[in-house]
């Protein structure tokens, strides 16, 4: 019959307290409604088993007890329910029928309960891999048996547990105990598992690009093949693109596809060339494939195939494009919608439609009016007209006045009078009258 009394360790409880605290106890086998006798007192009911070192009871009626003996009686009704009993018996029989059945140790236990287990039986704590064997009535630590984790880089924030494997600076380490921010190879926490290997012997240098040529050559255009001397053993092959740059004038170069490369000579079919001249020292380099729409800075947009379309793509309007191709200012002035007549009686038309006209007329002596026809008719109206007489014989008390009248879009009349002192106006002598008119 199994022992139904448990006495391992000591207990403490405060006066009126409801928590019993054990020292060196393993109460994993106690259950609610078992009973406990503290320091020889009468048994009282255990209301709950919190963990392997704490029980809950009704308020303790005695005085405070510290580290005293106790007796726990496994008499809970739960132990005698038919279903529970049958399950426990089934597990027990199955375990007993297997050689080496493990007693499993919970995560909150530092070691197996000494009151449990049979001679030669093993105990296992799955979370840590620790193993014990029951020898002469006591659990003896047997060792830790846990597989290594998959390697991962060490960092300063992760908690690493025993048998975790980390890598650092090319070596691998296995954890000996739990740690945070304890970097390998700290021997307190880590064991070297695999050391970083030594640097291997430097292998032979492989072929590369680059090179030079002392061959005297002129810049040739696309479609021409150039042949020149260069270093052997480079990585160029038939079909590689290569650029030859004149070392003394690097803005001059040719590039194309290699058609032959044997020993110290190379042939290249040129498909692109910039600059001109003849040079005897060249630098070689690998070249990329030219794009289908590439442009060269040195050609200053002359390589555009359709300037009009390019301007449209830039958002330039059709009207502005007609200005950009004008050869000079007068032509651009005309494109803007202006017109000019530089005759003595002439005019100029502004892009806004305003027309400025000017001229002169000889006013005869006497009182007759002069009629003037505009060099060009105003399309809509004449808005302003000014006349200026040119008369050189005016004295200090004299004035000559000219007036415009009958102004239409195509003509007007001029009348001039002469006033001397306090007298009235009199006919004038012949004179020149300049005029200017503005309209639209």
pTM equals: 0.34
The burial of 216, by beta-carbon neighbours within 10 Å (0-12 exposed, 13-18 middle, 19 or more buried), is given as: exposed
Establish if 99 belongs to a structural domain. yes
Q: 366 and 379, same structural domain?
A: yes
Residues 222, 242 within the same domain: yes
Above 70 in pLDDT, residue 277?
yes
Whether 69 and 90 share a structural domain:
no
- Does residue 177 have a cis bond before it (omega within 30 degrees)? no
11: pLDDT strictly greater than 80: yes
Cβ-count burial 278-305 (b if 16+ within 10 Å, e if not):
ebeebebeebeeeeeeeeeeeeeeeeee
The stretch 62-84 carries a mean pLDDT of 86
Placement of tokens 């000017």 in the chain: 358
Q: Using CA atoms, how far apart are residues 266 and 257, in angstroms rounded to an integer?
A: 11
- Given a cut of 70, is residue 298 above it in pLDDT? no
- Give me the mean pLDDT over the 244-266 stretch: 96
Let me know whether 88 and 28 are in one domain: no
Structure tokens at 322: 């007609």
Q: Which residue has the higher pLDDT, 297 or 399?
A: 399
In a domain, residue 390? The reply is yes
Distance, in Å, from the CA atom of 12 to the CA atom of 38, rounded to the nearest integer, reads: 9
Check whether residue 345 and residue 383 sit in a common domain: yes
In DSSP notation, 18-38 reads: -EEEEES--GGG--TT-EEEE
pLDDT exceeds 90 at position 98:
no
- Identify whether residues 64 and 95 lie together within a single domain: no
Cα three-residue angle 424-427-432, rounded to 5 degrees: 125
pLDDT surpassing 70 at residue 43? yes
Measure Cα distances from 341 to 20, 275, 308, 355, 358 in Å: 122, 49, 32, 11, 10
What whole-number distance in Å separates Cα of residue 436 and Cα of residue 403?
13
- Judged against a pLDDT cut of 50, whether residue 1 lies above it is answered with no
- pLDDT digit string, tens, across residues 348-394: 999 999 999 999 999 888 778 899 999 999 999 999 999 999 887 77
Reported as a single tens digit per residue, the pLDDT across 413-428 is 998 888 877 666 766 7
Contacts 24+ apart (CB under 8 A), 214-217: 214/280, 214/281, 214/282, 215/280, 215/282, 216/278, 216/279, 216/280, 217/244, 217/278, 217/279, 217/280, 217/282
Residue 103 has pLDDT above 50, yes or no: yes
> Does residue 203 form part of some domain?
no
| Cβ-proximal residues to 77 (8 Å cutoff; 6+ apart), any chain | 33
Specify whether the CB–CB gap between 6 and 72 falls below 8 A. yes
Per DSSP, 232 falls in state S
What pLDDT is recorded for position 396? 79
In a domain, 180, yes or no: yes
CA distance 34 to 16: 20
Q: Is residue 156 part of a domain?
A: yes
**Quick one: which of 371, 342, 368, 367 has its CA closest to 356?**
342
Q: Are 212 and 282 spatial neighbours (Cβ–Cβ below 8 Å)?
A: yes
Q: 379 near 409, Cβ under 8 Å?
A: yes
C-beta separation of 221 from 206 below 8 A: no
pLDDT at 41 over 60: yes
Q: Give the confidence band of 309 by pLDDT, cuts at 50, 70, 90.
A: confident
Our count of domains for the chain comes to: 5
CATH number (domain holding residue 25): 2.40.30.180
Cα distance between residue 439 and residue 412, in whole Å: 13
Q: Are residues 62 and 88 in the same domain?
A: no
Q: State which of 168, 194, 220 marks the end of a domain.
A: 194
Q: What is the largest CA-CA distance in the chain?
A: 163
Residues 28 and 9 reside in one and the same domain: yes
Whether residue 229 lies inside any domain: the answer is: yes
Q: How far apart are CA 259 and CA 242, in angstroms?
A: 11
Residue 314 belongs to some domain of the structure: no
Residue 166, H or E segment: strand 165-168
Mean pLDDT of 326-354: 89
| CATH number where 370 lies | 2.60.40.3940
Residue 318 within any structural domain of the chain: no
- Does residue 188 share a domain with residue 255? no
Query: Please, which pLDDT band fits residue 129 given cuts at 50, 70 and 90?
Result: confident
Q: What proportion of the chain, given as a percentage, has pLDDT over 90?
A: 62
Domain interval for residue 10: 5-80
Given 80, 106, 129, the domain boundary residue is 80
Task: Share the mean pLDDT of the chain.
Answer: 89
Place of tokens 């026809």: 373
Buried b (16+ CB within 10 A) or exposed e, 72-107: bebbbeeeeeeeeeeeeeeeeeeeeeeeebbbebee
Whether residue 53 is found in the same domain as residue 112: no
Residue range 160-169: mean pLDDT, rounded: 93
Q: What are phi and psi of 243, to 5 degrees?
A: -115, 135
Place of tokens 């008390």: 397
**Residues 87 and 72 both lie in one domain:** no
CATH number of the domain where residue 159 is located: 2.10.10.20
Q: State whether 359 and 398 are in the same domain.
A: yes
Three-state SS at 404:
strand
């Amino acid at each position: 019959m199994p022992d139904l009394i448990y006495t391992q360790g000591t207990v403490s409880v405060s006066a009126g307290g409801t928590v019993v605290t054990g020292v060196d106890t393993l109460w994993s086998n106690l259950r609610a409604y078992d009973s406990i006798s503290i320091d020889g007192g009468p048994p009282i009911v255990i209301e709950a088993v919190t963990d392997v070192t704490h029980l809950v009871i009704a308020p303790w009626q005695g005085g405070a007890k510290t580290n005293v003996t106790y007796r726990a009686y496994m008499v809970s009704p739960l132990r005698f329910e038919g279903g529970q009993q049958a399950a426990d018996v089934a597990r027990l029989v199955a375990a007993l029928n297997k050689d080496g059945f493990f007693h499993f140790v919970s995560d909150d236990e530092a070691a197996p309960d000494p009151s449990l287990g049979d001679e030669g039986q093993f105990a296992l704590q799955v979370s840590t891999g620790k193993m014990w064997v029951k020898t002469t009535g006591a659990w003896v630590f047997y060792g830790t048996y846990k597989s290594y984790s998959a390697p991962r880089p060490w960092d300063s924030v992760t908690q690493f547990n025993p048998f975790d494997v980390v890598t650092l600076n090319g070596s691998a380490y296995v954890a000996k105990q739990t740690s945070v921010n304890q970097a390998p190879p700290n021997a307190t926490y880590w064991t070297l598992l695999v050391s970083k290997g030594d640097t291997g012997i430097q292998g032979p240098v492989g072929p590369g690009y680059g090179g030079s040529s002392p061959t005297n050559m002129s810049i040739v255009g696309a479609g021409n093949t150039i042949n020149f001397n260069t270093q052997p053993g480079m990585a160029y092959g038939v079909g590689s693109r290569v650029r030859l740059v004149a070392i003394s004038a690097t803005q001059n170069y040719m590039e194309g596809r290699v058609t032959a490369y044997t020993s110290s000579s190379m042939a290249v079919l040129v498909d692109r060339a910039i600059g001109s001249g003849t040079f005897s020292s060249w630098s070689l380099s690998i070249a990329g494939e030219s794009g289908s729409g590439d442009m060269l800075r040195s050609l200053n947009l002359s390589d555009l195939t359709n300037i009009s379309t390019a301007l449209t793509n830039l958002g330039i309007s059709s009207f502005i494009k007609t200005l950009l191709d004008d050869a000079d200012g007068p032509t651009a002035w005309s494109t803007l919608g202006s017109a000019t007549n530089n005759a003595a009686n002439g005019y100029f038309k502004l892009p806004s439609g305003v027309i400025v006209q000017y001229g002169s007329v000889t006013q005869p002596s006497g009182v007759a009016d002069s009629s003037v026809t505009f060099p060009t008719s105003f399309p809509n109206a004449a808005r302003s007209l000014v006349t200026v007489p040119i008369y050189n014989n005016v004295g200090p008390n004299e004035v000559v006045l000219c007036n415009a009248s009958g102004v239409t879009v195509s003509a007007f009349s001029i009348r001039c009078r002469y006033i001397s002192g306090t007298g009235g106006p009199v006919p004038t002598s012949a004179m020149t009258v300049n005029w200017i008119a503005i309209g639209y």
